[in-house]
Structure 1
Amino acid sequence: MALTRINPLPETQALVEEERYAEAADYLGFFMAYDYVGDDPAAQVIYQSIEDRRSDWRYQLDKLGEGLFNGSSDETIGQVASVTSDFLVIGDVRDLANQGMNLVHGEEVDEVLFALATLGLVATSAQMASAVGTGATAGAAAPAVAGTTVAKSSLITLKAARRLGKLPNWLKDSVITAARQARQTRSLGQLRTMLGDVNILAKTRGGLNMLENTQNATDLRRAARFADTFGSQSATLYRIGGTAAIDISQRAVILGKDTILLAATFGKTGLKVLDRVGTLKFTKFTSRSTKMVYKGDLLALIAKLLLSLPVWLLYGIIVFAAWLWTPGWLLSALGRLLKLRPQATP
């Protein structure tokens, strides 16, 4: 009774009104894979209108400029422009120059962005050195090139997160510390171990939202595992379930990826039910719920409330309710039966 399908159209329309077309496409697209939305003519019209808007050349041109001049974008073409400028060192030099000008004019210097640009130059130097080594060793140094490329890509992602206000405080401190050490060692130090996880999040449209809510390196590792498991669907899955989605994803091998995605169409409640009862029972519940109709929302509200209670308390309520609602005559009969029961012979 606690399971109620999400209607994605109101949220999608709100995103469209805010001109967040890429997010709207991802969100609605997640639900279009299920018949109750995919077969809805209204959903089909909205989804097509979003795709038409995103394919318009003027929209694409705007997103290209957004990535090139602002260093961040929510669309692929803008992200490519942003990454390209940073990979060619232009972005790092630009950021260092901008922060230098702020210092000269007595304006606030973004220490984190300055540190990221510094680390970007270090990563670029390492990348060039690895490339030269690959040529000299006939490809033996290729893994080193791949590693430095991942590091560079991850630093670009951290820059975007900083500009959008999505870089968590714990990671800011790590970046500044790494930049100070890099000036002497010319290496990324301990930060390198986290850049691989950042790179995984970078491949997901909603990866920066997950990054923002991490509290430490362990959270980052869990978020990266979640994004790696669900790929392009992880952004919407996280939007629906938040940390509950990340928690349950750690058991994807046991529960099944498709079952977790199905549970998400019932919202965070669906994820909680799946986590509590397991795949087999959840599948039975969902097949049954499509055939049940309730008059009003009271029973569903009570069911969701009970779902949030600890298991031991829930069983206590059931036992108490059974005792309370048992007819008096039955209790009396049980009492007489116990009294009449013959005593054991010593």
Structure 2
Amino acid sequence: MIAEKFDSSIYLNPTPLELADDMKAKQQWEDVLLLTRFAEQHFAQEQPDYRIAMQKQAEESLDSLTFLAERFTLGALTGEPVDTASLLGSLSLDVLVIGDIRDLLVQGFREVNAGDGDIVIMALSATGLLLMIAPELSWAPGLLKGFYRGGKISRPLMLQIEKAAKIAVKTGDVVPLRRLLNDFSAVVKGLGAGPSLTVMKQVRSADELALLAGKATIAPAETYTITRLAGIGQVKAIKSEGKLVKTIKLGARQQKIIGKIFLALPMSLLILIFSLSTGAGLYLFAASFIRSRI
């Protein structure tokens, strides 16, 4: 945005604790934990009592067998994941291999008889069976199926997965698909299944998935928070856990001030300021901003 033209800092808007509060209302406790840990690391003086209370509530909920059992059962019965426990429940058949065989039979039958079998589900099911000999990855195809069915993957990334799936089904070459599964597996191992459900929508290519995987492995709290609040491109700033190349600032207050300034300026002055700015990207942003004011 305009502030980034003059300042290389990463602005987080809303703040991590504000987002954690939203996740708390949805009972997405893994997300709350990552956000509060990030806040503890980088903004220890920002509402410490409230942060500690939220973090404690998240830990207690994730330790509650009753809560986890209820969510797991919900996922197993409906097949629709809403958080980590229900996601694992929805994948219970796949973890037991029965689901992979079931999906291969169902989708294979549809493909042969009507030509409308889901190539991605077929490829992931076949890969799931093949990966029984590689236990460290055996859960990844089933988990990716859950994300795919739940609409948790962006359309651009979905197209790349479909391409890799077609190669796997038609030629038997599972290398491109396995590469995607490796990176997907690293993201889930780093962030947890629940937070991964949230951030995967922002991943738009295999390259971005690989970037996210690398950073999630070394700094999960930073990776999740920055992806959610500043965009996946900004995770390049992460060097190691707790260390970032750029300065992180809470952007809510600064961006509100900038917004108020823009709204107070006359339209003619806004046009002049934007026309004198350099860079095609800034000019296009200015044009869209001005159109929204008219």
Determine if the alignment matches structure 1 residue 37 to structure 2 residue 27.
Answer: no
- Match among 188, 207, 222 for residue 218 of structure 1: 207
Per the normalisation by structure 1, the TM-score is 0.57
Evaluate the alpha carbon distance shift between residue 103 and residue 188 of structure 1 in structure 2; reply closer, same or farther with a 3 A threshold. closer
Partners of 1:246 and 1:104 lie apart in 2 by 44
- Match among 129, 136, 161 for residue 147 of structure 2: 161
Paired residue secondary structure (1:297): helix
Determine if the alignment matches structure 1 residue 227 to structure 2 residue 216.
Answer: yes
The answer as to whether partners of 1:151 and 1:196 remain within 8 angstroms in 2 is: yes
- Match among 125, 128, 141 for residue 120 of structure 1: 128
Per the TM alignment, residue 194 of structure 1 is displaced from its structure 2 partner at its CA by: 3.2
The residue identity in structure 2 corresponding to 1:162 is Y
Q: Deviations over 1:158-208 (max 9, x none)?
A: 2122122133222122113312223xxxx6243233332222112123335
1:263 equivalent in structure 2: 247
Per the TM alignment, residue 61 of structure 1 is displaced from its structure 2 partner at its CA by: 0.9
Partners of 2:123 and 2:60 lie apart in 1 by 40
Q: Deviations over 1:285-334 (max 9, x none)?
A: xxxxxxxxx9x9369969xxxxxx9xx969xxxxxxxxxxxxxxxxxxxx
Evaluate the alpha carbon distance shift between residue 300 and residue 227 of structure 1 in structure 2; reply closer, same or farther with a 3 A threshold. farther
Evaluate the alpha carbon distance shift between residue 218 and residue 262 of structure 1 in structure 2; reply closer, same or farther with a 3 A threshold. closer
Q: Percent same amino acid among aligned pairs?
A: 18
Partners of 2:55 and 2:217 lie apart in 1 by 26
The answer as to whether partners of 1:30 and 1:233 remain within 8 angstroms in 2 is: yes
Structure 1 gaps, min length 5: 128-147, 270-293, 303-308, 315-346
Paired residue secondary structure (1:152): coil
Determine if the alignment matches structure 1 residue 207 to structure 2 residue 196.
Answer: yes
2:237 equivalent in structure 1: 248
Partners of 2:80 and 2:114 lie apart in 1 by 24
Per the TM alignment, residue 92 of structure 1 is displaced from its structure 2 partner at its CA by: 0.7
Q: Deviations over 1:71-106 (max 9, x none)?
A: 75633x556556664343122123335546878998
Paired residue secondary structure (1:166): coil
Per the TM alignment, residue 209 of structure 1 is displaced from its structure 2 partner at its CA by: 4.7
The answer as to whether partners of 1:241 and 1:264 remain within 8 angstroms in 2 is: no
Partners of 1:301 and 1:247 lie apart in 2 by 31
Per the TM alignment, residue 12 of structure 1 is displaced from its structure 2 partner at its CA by: 2.6
Structure 2 gaps, min length 5: 263-273, 280-294
Evaluate the alpha carbon distance shift between residue 301 and residue 51 of structure 1 in structure 2; reply closer, same or farther with a 3 A threshold. farther
Determine if the alignment matches structure 1 residue 177 to structure 2 residue 177.
Answer: no
Partners of 1:42 and 1:262 lie apart in 2 by 27
Partners of 2:21 and 2:259 lie apart in 1 by 29
- The structure whose RCO (Cα within 8 Å, separation 6+) is larger is 2
The residue identity in structure 1 corresponding to 2:232 is T
Partners of 2:150 and 2:245 lie apart in 1 by 28
Q: How many correspondences in the alignment? A: 249
1:274 equivalent in structure 2: none
**Greater C-alpha radius of gyration:** 1
Evaluate the alpha carbon distance shift between residue 210 and residue 47 of structure 1 in structure 2; reply closer, same or farther with a 3 A threshold. closer
The answer as to whether partners of 2:91 and 2:146 remain within 8 angstroms in 1 is: no
Determine if the alignment matches structure 1 residue 12 to structure 2 residue 17.
Answer: no
- Match among 65, 85, 95 for residue 73 of structure 2: 65
Partners of 1:18 and 1:154 lie apart in 2 by 26
Partners of 2:121 and 2:29 lie apart in 1 by 28
Partners of 1:262 and 1:50 lie apart in 2 by 29
Paired residue secondary structure (2:46): helix
Per the normalisation by structure 2, the TM-score is 0.65
1:305 equivalent in structure 2: none
Map of 1:61-210 to 2, 5 A cutoff? Answer: 61-69=69-77, 70=79, 72=81, 74-75=83-84, 77-78=85-86, 85-99=93-107, 109-124=117-132, 127=133, 148-167=134-153, 168-182=158-172, 188-203=174-189, 204-205=191-192, 206-210=195-199
The answer as to whether partners of 1:150 and 1:199 remain within 8 angstroms in 2 is: no
Evaluate the alpha carbon distance shift between residue 241 and residue 299 of structure 1 in structure 2; reply closer, same or farther with a 3 A threshold. closer
Evaluate the alpha carbon distance shift between residue 158 and residue 178 of structure 1 in structure 2; reply closer, same or farther with a 3 A threshold. same
